[in-house]
């Protein structure tokens, strides 16, 4: 379903999600607006599902990695659906409101998730349904986002994952900030037929349209992964920040739980998520799944790669635990370096060396 916001001036369709805009003609200024002001991002390519029914919370609790039995009304959470071996199959953002649990997931994955949920219903009072055709997600991003909501007369949830209903249907949900931690995020679920009108209310209150590329750049900066892009078929939650945001470590009895608990107790997952700085010798961004190499060895895989308005070419990558900031890395022909903030704790000299390496990568003086 092509978004009506794709018809706005300057809009360029996103390469991988062609129903929404990658940008509106100003890719880097749009990033800065998210980082410093208030930008409205069309994320209506995400799939949306609902789970009504009296047994919904205890049922979802038994199927996912998150503790959901006591999820309160007007609140949200993140959860994972894992394979029996503990590999990530779905990452879902949940919203509990007025007797219905909503979920939003990666574009194109909603039907598979609903199909799985339908197979697991048995005799329980639940009725999962894909409702993407009727509902669309927007995100208001930036430190001035709350001021825009107030000016528009929309509710302003206070805490992360707090939810407030919208008059006429839908809801407002606060999410963890992205970018350097100051770009606040509020997700807005609105009836799809009202998407343009609801967006115009926020634009009239001071928001500016920004494309999905701008959101992705700040998401990468914040190291917030996307399922199926920054993860692969071997990814376990312990390798990503989802162990903190989407997994309840004191909860058992869900599919894949044994792997999560075992690796957590050992304290060393096989890979870790890092931010890579690329030298920018090629104008083309590496595709998700591109190998990260060291000499002749493959030591990781790239997820989301972006052009960041401050950091240049950067990418999220899953790399083996044996990879250190001193390890010479390449992504295709580009020289890469791990961000010093992603080095193991307590390695001051290593972090200093990592910063030197990044400076060299940015000036294209390292050639592997």
DSSP string, 224-291: ---TTTT--TT--GGGSTHHHHT--TT---STTHHHHHHHHHHT--SEEEEEEEE---SSSPPPTTPE
pLDDT classification of 356: cutoffs 50, 70, 90? low
- For tokens 């996103």, the residue is 14
- For tokens 């963890």, the residue is 176
Tell me the β-bridge partners of 23. Answer: 12
pLDDT classification of 365: cutoffs 50, 70, 90? very low
Q: In this structure, what is the dihedral angle of CA atoms 206, 211, 212, 214, given to the nearest 10 degrees? A: -80
Instruction: Output the pTM of the full model.
Output: 0.93
Question: Which pLDDT belongs to residue 48?
Answer: 98
Question: Which pLDDT belongs to residue 345?
Answer: 56
Mean pLDDT of 305-309: 97
Cα–Cα distance between 61 and 51 in angstroms, integer? 13
Chain centre to alpha carbon of residue 315 = 14
Question: Which pLDDT belongs to residue 13?
Answer: 98
Establish how many alpha carbons lie within 13 A of residue 251's alpha carbon, considering only the half-sphere containing its beta carbon: 20
Q: Which helix or strand (DSSP H or E) is residue 317 part of?
A: strand 312-320
Query: Is 80 exceeded by the pLDDT of residue 359?
Result: no
Q: In this structure, what is the dihedral angle of CA atoms 237, 181, 199, 98, given to the nearest 10 degrees? A: 50
User: Measured between alpha carbons, how far is residue 317 from residues 230, 278, 302, 342 in Å?
Assistant: 7, 11, 4, 11
Q: Tens of pLDDT along 12-44?
A: 999 999 999 999 999 999 999 999 999 999 999
DSSP letter at 121 equals -
Question: Which pLDDT belongs to residue 350?
Answer: 54
Question: Which pLDDT belongs to residue 325?
Answer: 85
Query: Is 60 exceeded by the pLDDT of residue 85?
Result: yes
Q: Tens of pLDDT along 201-242?
A: 999 999 999 999 999 999 999 999 999 999 999 999 999 999
DSSP-based three-state secondary structure for 279 = coil
Specify the length of the chain in residues. Answer: 368
Return the CA Rg of the chain: 21
Phi, psi of 166 (to 5 degrees): -100, 140
- Residue percentage of the chain with pLDDT more than 70: 93
Mean pLDDT of 85-95: 98
Query: Is 60 exceeded by the pLDDT of residue 355?
Result: no
């Amino acid at each position: 379903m092509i978004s009506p916001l794709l018809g706005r001036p300057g809009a360029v369709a996103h390469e991988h999600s062609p129903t929404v805009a990658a940008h509106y003609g100003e890719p880097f200024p749009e990033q800065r607006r998210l980082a410093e002001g208030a930008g409205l991002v069309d994320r209506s390519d995400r799939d949306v599902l609902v789970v009504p029914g009296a047994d919904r919370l205890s049922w979802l609790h038994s199927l996912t990695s998150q503790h959901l039995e006591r999820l309160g009304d007007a609140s949200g959470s993140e959860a994972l659906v894992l394979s029996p071996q503990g590999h990530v199959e779905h990452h879902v953002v949940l919203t509990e409101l007025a007797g219905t649990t909503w979920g939003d997931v990666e574009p194109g994955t909603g039907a598979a998730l609903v199909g799985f949920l339908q197979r697991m219903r048995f005799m329980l009072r639940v009725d999962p349904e894909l409702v993407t055709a009727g509902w669309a997600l927007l995100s208001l991003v930036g430190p001035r986002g709350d001021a825009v909501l107030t000016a528009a007369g929309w509710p302003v949830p206070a805490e992360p994952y707090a939810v407030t209903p919208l008059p006429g249907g839908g809801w407002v949900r606060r999410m963890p900030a992205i970018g350097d931690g100051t770009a606040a995020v509020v997700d807005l679920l609105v009836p799809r037929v009202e998407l343009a009108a609801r967006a115009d209310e926020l634009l009239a209150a001071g928001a500016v349209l920004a494309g999905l590329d701008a959101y992705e750049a700040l998401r990468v900066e914040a190291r917030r992964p996307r399922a199926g892009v920054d993860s692969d078929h071997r990814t376990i939650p312990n390798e990503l920040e989802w162990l903190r945001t989407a997994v309840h470590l004191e909860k058992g009895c869900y599919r894949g739980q044994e792997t999560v608990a075992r690796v957590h107790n050992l304290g060393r997952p096989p890979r870790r998520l890092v931010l890579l700085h690329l030298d920018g010798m090629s104008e083309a961004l590496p595709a998700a799944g591109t190998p990260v190499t060291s000499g002749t060895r493959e030591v990781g895989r790239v997820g989301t790669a972006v052009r960041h308005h401050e950091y240049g070419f950067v990418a999220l990558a899953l790399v083996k635990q044996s990879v250190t900031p001193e390890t010479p890395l390449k992504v295709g022909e580009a020289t890469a370096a791990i961000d010093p903030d992603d080095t193991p704790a307590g390695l001051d000299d290593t972090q200093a060396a990592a910063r030197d390496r990044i400076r060299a990568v940015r000036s294209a003086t390292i050639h592997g």
